[in-house]
Amino acid sequence: MDRITPGIVAVLLGAFAGVALFVPFVAISYRRRGRLSAGRLLLWAAALMYFWAIWAYTLVPLPDTTTYRCAGVNLDPLTFVRDIRGAFDGVGSPLADPALLQLGLNVLLFVPLGFFLRVLGGRGIVVALLTGFALSLLVETTQLTGVWGVFPCAYRVFDVVDLATNTLGAGLGAVLALAVPRTLRGSPPAPDADQPRPVTRRRRLLAMVCDVLVYLFIGAAVSVATQLWLQFVIGDTDAVGEGAIASVVGQGVAVGAVLTVILMTGRSFGDLAVQLRYVGDRLPTWAERTLRAVGGIAGFAALDSLTRENGAWALLFAVIAVVLALTTRDGRGLPGLISGQTLTDARGTRAPR
């Protein structure tokens, strides 16, 4: 069970961080590369999950305070020599020796780090080695200090051999990444990143997903901040327990944020992320933006906020929005239909005055 727990922790933390960083990642991808690549998205998701896996497998599970025992320190860098010799001198297969397996796992644990540094960051072997050593030192020091003073002493052994094997693993990962074509390594800006591209329904749906995520995260962040303010500033524990005030404030701020952005720019957070713009000349600008907001995320957010006890209306709105995005020309959907606007690539149009 102890081997499974860190994996579960890494998956949960990685998934949460991935959702939180999804919209910024989409926006950066469209500005640097002109589009969102599924391959790079999966690689970055794997790198994010790996980052949390390192910490989970080196720090979790935390010790039980009732059975807590201080761990030792190994400062002998030649310990691995005796471990390898003991594995081959002993009875049975050396591959089954716990000490040898530990050495191998310590190397393998940091191989992805070097791979990701070269493929995603465009860095070489030297940077991989230095980064591997620095990250390993940070992990070992965290263990040595009992998570920086949370525990009275180290609950896992500080081992200089781990520093060496982890660093070696990062270097090997950078070497293995040489198998990836040079044109696919790193993340240089694409030369045509600022050129207009076809507006697809998939791109419009991606903008809608970004809109919903921004709305939900703004609401959640403001709600948490409100709860903390009520608890530690006002001291109203009853209001904290009920959660009604935090919920109303969070939803109100989130609705106001998405509405304000559209009224000011004519584009939602999702439109800004994937470089889309609604354009038209049938109505005054203020009217077009208002209708675009009502037919898009602002309308959904308002329904979700006003009918929270019965989410059927917001769900129906979402279903209609998705169906129209899939069936209307260029995926302009409900916002385009009620505002009379068409959907274009923002890089090929000028912002209305």
Averages of pLDDT over runs of 10 residues in the chain (353 residues) are 70 88 95 89 92 84 74 78 68 63 87 94 93 94 84 82 93 94 81 89 96 96 94 86 90 96 96 95 92 95 85 91 93 93 84 49
H or E element that contains 345: strand 342-345
pLDDT of residue 74: 81
**Judgement on whether residues 209 and 342 belong to the same structural domain of the protein:** yes
pLDDT of residue 285: 93
Question: Are 56 and 6 a contacting pair, CB within 8 Å?
Answer: yes
Give the separation between CA 117 and CA 155, rounded to whole angstroms: 30
Size of the chain in residues: 353
**Judgement on whether residues 321 and 285 belong to the same structural domain of the protein:** yes
**Judgement on whether residues 148 and 46 belong to the same structural domain of the protein:** no
353 belongs to a structural domain: no
Boundary of a domain, candidates 150, 175, 192: 192
**Judgement on whether residues 42 and 85 belong to the same structural domain of the protein:** no
pLDDT of residue 72: 77
**Judgement on whether residues 337 and 223 belong to the same structural domain of the protein:** yes
Kindly calculate the radius of gyration of the chain based on its CA atoms and give it in whole angstroms: 26
**Judgement on whether residues 53 and 73 belong to the same structural domain of the protein:** no
208 belongs to a structural domain: yes
Q: Structure tokens of 349?
A: 């149009």
pLDDT of residue 319: 96
H helix intervals, 73-121: 79-89, 98-119
> Peptide bond before 61: cis, by omega within 30 degrees of 0?
yes
Boundary of a domain, candidates 192, 219, 253: 192
Give the separation between CA 287 and CA 225, rounded to whole angstroms: 34
Question: Are 154 and 146 a contacting pair, CB within 8 Å?
Answer: yes
Question: Are 36 and 26 a contacting pair, CB within 8 Å?
Answer: yes
- What sign for the dihedral angle of Cα 262, 265, 266, 272? negative
Give the 3-state secondary structure of residue 103.
helix
**Judgement on whether residues 212 and 342 belong to the same structural domain of the protein:** yes
Boundary of a domain, candidates 131, 160, 192: 192
Give the separation between CA 209 and CA 273, rounded to whole angstroms: 11
Domain range for 179 is 69-192
**Judgement on whether residues 48 and 89 belong to the same structural domain of the protein:** no
Query: How many domains does one find in the chain?
Result: 3
Q: Structure tokens of 323?
A: 């169906």
